[in-house]
Chains A and B, each alone.
Chain A
Amino acid sequence: NAGVTQTPKFQVLKTGQSMTLQCAQDMNHNSMYWYRQDPGMGLRLIYYSASEGTTDKGEVPNGYNVSRLNKREFSLRLESAAPSQTSVYFCASSAEGGLNYEQYFGPGTRLTVT
């Protein structure tokens, strides 16, 4: 059981470039999430998917798009990267969309935009 996996682990982009962060989970979880973590700001939710085929905005969605490709995979796309998107990105999943299920996190993607 790999849990939640993320690729790539590190990425450097130039301003204006695009890229997709990949996330997959093998726990048969319904709900998946994308967070970003910045010094002094803590973790903030970017987008989430309560179930396959549904996505919704979180706290800081501007500049990002997501795709829930299937039950296992949830990708995050930066269409035109900006230095303000330099951050560590975490994907997470939970068993259900209900309110009493633990979230399990991936190891993160460290993104630098120059």
Chain B
Amino acid sequence: KQEVTQIPAALSVPEGENLVLNCSFTDSAIYNLQWFRQDPGKGLTSLLLIQSSQREQTSGRLNASLDKSSGRSTLYIAASQPGDSATYLCAVPWGGGATNKLIFGTGTLLAVQP
């Protein structure tokens, strides 16, 4: 059964620092990996989706990488800002078939201190 792990569970950094969030998965036969952001009391916002054929995906200050063979993905945030404070979740599809059912990690709670 696919399992998704995110370490650390919480991270606090000063404003301006570059940081890396980690996501590990046990079954490397994934079709894609998606990173989300969740603000307190809110729903999830999709940040980046990396397809299995890609190694990196970038959006603004965010860069996500995918290494299927090692079962790892990282989300790099450059020049962090207090507005980046949120919980970051990664998710991969499970179960095969044609539907994109997702398995989520439990997230990393990021606090960027001004």
Contacts and interface: CB of A to CB of B under 8 A. Distances in A.
A107 B91 CA distance: 18
B42 interface: yes
Q: DSSP class of B's interface residues: helix, strand, loop or mixed?
A: strand
Contacts of B49: 100-102
B101 A105 contact: no
A103 B99 contact: no
Nearest to A99: B31
Interface residues of B, number: 25
Given A42-B106, A42-B107, A103-B46, A48 B89 contact: no
Contact of B98 (A44, A99, A102, A104): A99
A5 to B, nearest CB: 10
B10 interface: no
Interface residues of A, number: 29
A103 B107 contact: no
Interface of B: 4, 31-32, 34, 36, 42-46, 49, 51, 89, 91, 93, 98-107
